[in-house]
Amino acid sequence: MNLYLKKRLRKQKIVFFTISVLAILILVAMMGIIVIIFVKGIRVINWKFLTSLPSFDFYGVPQGGIGPAIVGTFLITGLGLVFSVPLGILGGIFLSEYRTKGKLFNIMRMSVANLAGVPSVVHGLFGMAVFTIFFGLGLSILSASLTLSILALPIVIMVTENAMKNVPDSVREGAFALGAKRWQSALLVVFPAAFSKIMTGVVLSSARIAGETAPILFTGATLYLTYYPHGLNEQFMALPYMIWGLVTTSINISASTPFAYGISIVLIILVAAMNSVAMVSRFVMRKHDVL
């Protein structure tokens, strides 16, 4: 080994070492954030916290729990998915199976990417203008979940499109060879093959919707409810909105902060659960992959 090569290899070692140290520092900082949340919030978490109604004592110290907020978050996320998933899957199927080279098709694809890039606060404005005011749904679970469904739609479309594209062409050719029309190959052959992958993507995107705050700010979320909502035309509480409310609008912020950390833990566990569902299904899929 000559001297020059040695010098170059030493340089490589130094650079790689520096990069490793920096990268590990960053990753540790990110893990640190999660650890801090758990350390600061774990002591407020108990059964009562998760299930009872919120209440504040005379000094603004939160006493009760976050039951309505958990229910509200599940309601708007679930309803949002109910509206967006069927339409998004249909759109994704079209984008993947009816691909052409035309200009119109490119416009269609671009608009999905652009809709995915629309900031959530603009979704909030749009939802307020359309669902709350124009359609007169008011501040309600329904208008919030419709707003969230518009936010989720492009994500579902892209997830479906990618999953369908990953199905090899031989599958389609097989279907065509047996005389299937394009829609038959798309819906009856390719879609079932891509189904589990699509569902994985949907689960992951629902984690994103559950944590959104800006779209529900003006479409029906409220900071304080002493009852569980009875219908879809009522206002609701939501976990992320409650975090914001506790640390910025509460009259006793220092007493409310641990509560906000407790809610963060709940949200993080929710997100982690969705991620692990996606991960496990991905793992199982790889084992049983027929294609």
Partner 1 sequence: MLQKLGKGDVDIFSPHFKKNNVVDSVLWSSGWLSNVIIIAIIFFLFYNWVPLFKTVSPIEFFFGTRWYPTVTPPLYGTLPLLIATIEISLFSLILTFPISIVVTIFMTFIAPKKIRYLIKIFLEFFSSIPSVVLGLIGLSIVSPYLQNTFNLDTGLNVFNASLMLTFLTIPITASMMEDFMVSFPREQIEGAEALGATSIETLWKVILPGLKGPFASIAMLSMGRIFGETMIVLMIAGNAAIFPTSIFDPAKPLSATIAAEMGETAVGTPHFYALFGIGVIIFFITLFINLIGESIRIKYEMEMRRN
266 binds partner 1 (CB under 8 A): no
Rule CB under 8 A: is residue 55 a binding residue for partner 1?
no
Give the one residue of 61, 130, 171, 277 binding partner 1; rule: CB under 8 A: 130
Minimum CB distance to partner 1, residue 157 (Å)? 7
Shortest distance (Å) from residue 140 CB to partner 1: 16
Instruction: Give the up-direction half-sphere exposure of residue 178: CA atoms within 13 A in the CB hemisphere.
Output: 10
Is residue 118 at the binding interface for partner 1, with CB under 8 A as the rule?
yes
Size of the site for partner 1 (CB under 8 A): 94
Phi first, then psi, for residue 71 (nearest 5°) are: -60, -45
User: Is 220 in contact with 141 (CB distance < 8 Å)?
Assistant: yes
Q: Is 121 in the site for partner 1 (CB under 8 A)?
A: yes
Q: What is the DSSP string of 215-264?
A: HHHTTTB-S--SS---STTS-B--HHHHHHHHHHT-S-HHHHHHHHHHHH
Q: Which residues in the 182-221 window bind partner 1 by CB under 8 A? A: 182-183, 186-187, 204, 207-208, 210-214, 217-218
Q: Locate 166 and state its tokens.
A: 């990953």
Q: At closest approach, how far in Å is the CB of 260 from partner 1?
A: 6
Q: Are 190 and 167 in contact (CB under 8 A)?
A: yes
Q: Residue 108 interacts with partner 1 (CB under 8 A)?
A: yes
Least Cβ distance, residue 44 to partner 1 (angstroms): 14
State the sign of the Cα–Cα–Cα–Cα dihedral 73, 74, 77, 79: negative
Verify binding: residue 24, partner 1, rule CB under 8 A: yes
Kindly report the number of other CB atoms within 10 A of residue 129's CB atom. Answer: 12
Site residues (CB under 8 A) for partner 1, limited to 63-102: 87, 90-91, 93-95, 97-102
